[in-house]
């Protein structure tokens, strides 16, 4: 997809499909029986829009205590390996979840922490000075557009426009394109879109799907000796990389309206249904 095509796609709602996803809760018996065939489950969860509702400011996306307790309970069950896979920085998402013993993948998997081990994908750190310069330029040009914000996450950066007035959206797009295009054409960065956000990342072929696949091939670092069943739950365009990577290999769950073009097999309508699913997993014997 071209640069222009990607940005325009990011500004539009997710396209509809004629093949609706299956409700996970209505098909719980089928899902339950599938899970029970495996000794271990790698449970991967996005944060924003999955564990917490989408809010106007990312800083207000706080995890409910009931959800935190469910995650804590699951992490202490021998069957589950709980992994939070987020576009947020590792430091940020760890602080928001506030639980030890989980796997955390920040910046779409560019930085990863498993118990007793933390590392950054090679080459990702090399782009940090360039991303800082781009963030400064974007911040300077966008400062006069109400509702826009630039988030420097170290290994990547985000331009948020959820709170931008409709009449200013095209201006945000043009500023973003003008500043990032030279770096993109030189292969110094990669561009991605999400829900009301533009992403600038290092020029590395790495995403949420690849980090989950990487984990599945290394059960030893998770303290396991057997292959695990992956379950991935997410709501954003960036989670589609994981849905595609796990096609036919695990259980994939889109959070949101069911009639989307998502590559997931099942859906949960909202954060409340995600919590119901987590509760069912915790009660599964």
Active-site positions?
A: 46
Supply 61's token pair: 């996306």
- Helix H or strand E segment including 173: helix 169-185
From residue 99, alpha-carbon distances to 71, 92, 253 in Å are 8, 12, 23
Which residues have CB under 8 Å from 97's CB, separation 6+? Answer: 47, 51, 63, 68, 71, 84, 104
**Do strands 197-201 and 190-194 pair parallel, antiparallel, or not at all (unpaired)?**
antiparallel
**Do strands 111-114 and 103-106 pair parallel, antiparallel, or not at all (unpaired)?**
antiparallel
* Closest to 70 measured CA to CA, from 225, 281, 285: 281
How many separate helices (H) and strands (E) can be counted in the chain? 9, 13
C-alpha–C-alpha distance, residues 232 and 91, integer Å: 21
C-alpha–C-alpha distance, residues 214 and 85, integer Å: 13
* Closest to 61 measured CA to CA, from 34, 86, 36: 86
């Amino acid at each position: 997809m071209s640069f222009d095509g990607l940005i325009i796609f990011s500004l539009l709602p997710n396209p509809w499909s004629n093949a609706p996803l299956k409700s996970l809760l209505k098909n719980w018996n089928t899902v339950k029986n599938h899970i029970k065939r495996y000794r271990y489950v790698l449970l991967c969860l996005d944060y924003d829009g999955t564990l917490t509702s989408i809010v106007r400011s990312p800083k207000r996306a706080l995890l409910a205590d009931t959800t935190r307790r469910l995650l804590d309970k699951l992490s202490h069950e021998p069957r589950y390996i709980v992994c939070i896979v987020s576009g947020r920085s590792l430091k940020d998402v760890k602080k928001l979840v506030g639980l030890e013993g989980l796997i955390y993948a920040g910046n779409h998997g560019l930085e990863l922490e498993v118990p007793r081990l933390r590392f950054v994908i090679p080459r990702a750190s090399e782009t940090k000075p360039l991303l800082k310069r781009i963030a400064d330029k974007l911040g300077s040009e966008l400062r006069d557009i109400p509702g826009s914000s630039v988030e420097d996450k170290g290994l990547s950066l985000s331009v948020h426009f959820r709170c931008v007035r409709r009449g200013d959206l095209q201006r945000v797009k043009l500023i973003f394109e003008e500043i990032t295009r030279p770096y993109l054409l030189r292969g110094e960065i990669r561009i991605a879109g999400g829900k009301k956000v533009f992403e600038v990342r290092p020029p590395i072929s790495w995403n949420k799907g690849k980090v989950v696949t990487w984990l599945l091939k290394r059960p030893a670092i998770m303290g396991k000796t057997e292959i695990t069943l992956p379950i991935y739950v997410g709501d954003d365009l960036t989670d589609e990389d994981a849905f595609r990577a796990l096609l036919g290999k695990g259980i994939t769950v889109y959070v949101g309206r069911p009639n989307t073009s998502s590559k997931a097999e099942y859906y949960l309508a909202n954060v409340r249904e995600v919590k119901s699913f987590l509760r069912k997993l915790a009660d599964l014997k």
